[in-house]
Amino acid sequence: MSSADLSPDPTLVLELLTAFRRSKIMFAATKLGVFDALEQQPRSTADLAGSLACNSDGLARLLDACVSLGLLQKDADQYRNLPAASIYLTSGSSRRLTGYVNYSNEMMWQLWAHLEDAVREGTHRWQQAFGWDGPIFSSLFKDERSKREFLIGMHGFGVISSPQVVIAHDLSRFNRLVDLGGATGHLAMAACEAYPHLQAVVADLPEVLPLAQEMIGQSQVANRIAVSACDFFRDPLPPADLYALGRIIHDWTEAKSLALLERIHQALPPGGGILIAEKLLNESKTGPEWALLQSLNMLTCTEGKERTLIEYRALLERVGFTDVQGRVTSAPLDAVLAVKPY
C-alpha cells in the first residue's frame, strides 16, 4: 500500500478552500443587480450585460456560477431567478436579505480579512479595516439609505427566526412585551401573532423608529404594537412583564451585558421574564457551526461573543434571575427564558 493510499480524503480542505468564492458570487450578483434584473422575466446574457454595464463573458461566468449554486435556472441562453433568489435577493421583496448581503460584502468581508489580527489581539477590526472611530453601529447608519437597507436585511433575518423564538417557550402568562433594540419589530409581530392577548412595544433608538412603524403598520397585529424611543443603556425602560433581547447580548462585553441585564431585572415586576434570542453554543463549544462562525464574526465586528446556555445562566443568575431555561430551534436563533423571582 502506497503512502497516497493512507492519505485522508482532501475533499474537506478543498471545499473550505473555495467556500469564500461561493459567498462572493452571491455578493457580487446581488451588488451588480442581477437578481433584480431577472425578477420580471428571463433574459439572455447579452441583454443583461447591456443593462448592467458588464462585460458579456465575465457576466456569463457569474450567471453560470449562480446556476450551479441554485440561485438561477438556465434554459439555452435565458436565465431566470429561482425562488430563493426572488424571495431573499431582490430589492422588491418584503423578506429580502439584500441589506445584510450588501453589509457582508462591503463591510464584513473587509473585517474578516483581518481575522488573524482579531485573534491575536482579541478586538474588533473596524479601525484597521476602515479607520473608523466611535460607536460601531453609528458606522452602519452613516446615511439614510445604508441604515434602511441594513435594517431591512436584519428584518428578513428576523422573519426567519422570530416565529420559532417566540414559541420555543410558553409565553402565554405574560401580558406586555417590550423588545429592547427591537429594530423593525419582527419579534414583537411574531409574538403578538402567536399570543392573541399580548401587547407589545418596540423600543429602539429614535432614528430606527420610522422604519419600525412602517413595517409594523403592514402587519395584522399593528393595533397591539407601539414604538418607544429608548437607549436601553441610559433611558428608563418602558414598563413590561416580559423584556426581549434579540441579537443584543452577543454584541457587548460581559460588563455591559451585566449592566443591561441588571437594568432589566430592576424594571421587571416579580414574576416577570426576560427572553434572549441568540444562537447557543453547545457545552463543549464545538458546535453548532453557525454559532461558532457567528462568534468569530462578533470578534471581528463587535465587543461580544456567542455563549453556551451555562454561560447565559451564569450571567442571568448573577443579577438575580432564576429558572433559566434554553430551547434550541431549527432557526438561526435559539431562545433563553429566565424569570425574576417573587
Provide the pLDDT for residue 94. Answer: 86
User: Confidence class of residue 152 from pLDDT cuts 50, 70 and 90?
Assistant: confident
pLDDT at 1: 55
- Asked whether residue 152 falls in the same domain as residue 275, the answer is yes
Residue 294 cell numbers, joined: 457567528
Residues 65 and 159 in one domain: no
Q: Kindly state whether residues 69 and 145 are assigned to the same domain.
A: no
Q: Is 250 a catalytic residue?
A: yes
Give me the chain's average pLDDT, please: 94
Assess if residue 298 is contained within a domain: yes
* Same structural domain, 215 and 285: yes
> What's the whole-number mean pLDDT along residues 35-41?
97
DSSP count for the chain of H helices, then E strands: 16, 10
- Structural domain includes residue 172: yes
Mark whether 251 and 167 lie in a shared domain. yes
Tell me, what's the pLDDT at 132?
Answer: 79
Q: Which residues pair with 337 in a beta bridge?
A: 275, 325
- Please check whether residues 142 and 287 belong to one and the same domain: yes
User: Per the domain annotation, does 23 fall within a domain?
Assistant: yes
Residue 106 inside a domain? The answer is: no
Shared-domain flag, residues 83 and 172: no
Q: What is the pLDDT of residues 175-221, one digit of tens each?
A: 999 999 999 999 999 999 999 999 999 999 999 999 999 999 999 99
Mean pLDDT of 281-302: 96
Percent of the chain with pLDDT over 90: 88
| Residue 120 in domain | no
Cell of 225: 404594537
Q: CATH number, domain at 61?
A: 1.10.10.10
The band of 6, judged by pLDDT with boundaries at 50, 70 and 90, is confident
CA distance linking residue 226 with residue 246, whole number of Å:
17
Active-site position among 114, 186, 250, 265: 250
User: Average pLDDT in the 147-166 region?
Assistant: 91
Same domain, 48 and 153: no
Q: How many CB atoms lie within 10 A of CB 297?
A: 18
Residue after which a domain boundary falls, among 54, 88, 122: 88
List the CATH number of the domain containing 153: 3.40.50.150
Residue 136: pLDDT over 70: no
CA dihedral 97, 101, 107, 108 (to 10 degrees): 100
Does the residue 129 lie in any domain? no
Would 110 be classed as within a structural domain?
Answer: no
Grid cell at residue 246 = 434579540
Look at residue 60 and tell me if it is in a domain. yes
Domain boundary among 31, 62, 88: 88
pLDDT of residue 147: 83
Q: How many domains does the chain have?
A: 2
Asked if 263 and 329 sit in the same domain, the reply is yes
Give the model confidence (pLDDT) of 320-335 as tens digits: 999 999 999 999 999 9
For residue 16, what are the domain limits?
3-88
- In this prediction, residue 148 has a pLDDT band, given cuts at 50, 70 and 90, of confident
What is the C-alpha separation between 165 and 184, in angstroms, rounded?
16
pLDDT given for residue 149 in this prediction? 83
Rounded CA separation 31/34 (Å): 8
What are the residue ranges of helices labelled H in the chain? 11-32, 34-37, 45-52, 56-68, 83-88, 98-103, 109-112, 115-121, 126-130, 136-140, 144-168, 186-194, 209-217, 254-267, 289-301, 309-318
What was the pLDDT predicted at 326?
Answer: 98
**pLDDT tens-digit series, residues 53-111:** 999 999 999 999 999 999 999 999 999 999 999 999 999 998 899 989 999 999 899 99
